[in-house]
Structure 1
Amino acid sequence: MRILKLISALLSYPTQALLDAVPELEQAVREDRSLPLHERERLFDFLETLEDADIWTLQAAYVEQFDRGRKFSLHLFEHVHGESRDRGQAMIDLLTVYQRHGFELKARELPDYLPLFLEFLASLPDAEARELLDQAMHVVALLGERLSAQHSPYHVLFDALLALGTTPQTLDAIREQVAGEGPDRSITEMDKIWEEEQVTFLASGPGGCGASQPAQQTVHFVRRPQAAAPL
């Protein structure tokens, strides 16, 4: 399912390198046979908007869409566990899946970051990739419905993911949930939420969670040497 790597790139923070690669991405969509024709056509439309866009406008829109609150977070476990302790164990379990397939994270990125997860799935045999994608499909559907309700162009990427996997049985309930949602509370009540929630830094100084890090980082998977130490 190489198309997953293309969707991963389109869901990542826009860069000039991505815009320069649009003709190559269009060719990849043209050659793909895993998606229905309708979904491929909508991916072409999405790529055409990239060709005509200014990089700074794209980057500002991306940050506004995905980075300002929790409602559209591209971290999968944010929508499953929130800030509970269960999220930490889920991260460990997902890292174990990556390690089992001989991969380790090269960038400082949480393992549940959706573009990273999709890039990993693109390296797997189709059946295994679909099985793992299906496990995240309820979150994919939730994000897709929220983006669609906002008329965001990014919703076509989530529709493509739904077409590649199994439509969740809870899709109607997800649509009802989205229809009844108000504004993102993590934005409208930011000060109150910060007062209510305890903030814990796992480490301080370079490399710790409290350390200053770049807002966006390129995500890659690299093959682990056989003798590599575990994460």
Structure 2
Amino acid sequence: MAGAGAVSLPTSTSTFSSLCSLKFSSKPLLLPMRFSPKPLSPPRFPRIYALSSNDIKVGTSLEVDGAPWRILEFLHVKPGKGAAFVRTKMRNYITGNTVEKTFRAGSTIEEANVFKETKQFTYKDGSQFVFMDLNTFEETRLDEADVGDKTKWLKEGMDCILLFWNGKVIDFEVPITVQLTVVDVDPGLKGDTASGGATKPATLDTGAIVYVPLFVNTGDQILVDTRTGQYMSRA
């Protein structure tokens, strides 16, 4: 056909022989692998959301005047005259102060980004208490002032709950019930029982002093309620 280009194929015997003489490696061909980018991890600290005063309930965390507060009590009030409001009693997470505050019904309030993480108390380093995340092995350190009198319930290996706000620890909680060892107590008398309510002071392995029944002796394992500091039973 006119205008069509002709394509010539090599017919030379030497060319064909050259192609046949090529040697191919028996090793597998390795191609560079492409990895998809690692998905972004979710933010460590949750966002702050706006709440309506109508959403307030016991345990709600609010951010008021730049500080985190926890609602202890609340009451929705709808007077015969005037606007409805919510009367609350709330506690400052950081200072522990308790105040009463009123919010206008339907008003917008910021929810404080207070959340909890379980950490294990691993050891004490000087004046610092070291808590470890058993999943990431990340350490969080608290000073003696941050731990306060809760130190008397702390034992190595104990799981505690740390409260975070804006990336900082503002409080921590020890278990409600702890098992501790009596290291010093006056010996009990034969026949002593829990009847009659008689008690004696006992020093525990954490340094705490708890009043125990007369039959409890040195070396006994006992259960203590950390909220009240009271003896519960022998373990």
Q: Could you say which structure has the higher strand fraction?
A: 2
Q: Which has the higher helix share?
A: 1
Q: TM-score per shorter chain, which class?
A: under 0.3
**TM-score (normalised: structure 2):** 0.19
Q: Which has the higher contact order (CA 8 A, sep 6+)?
A: 1
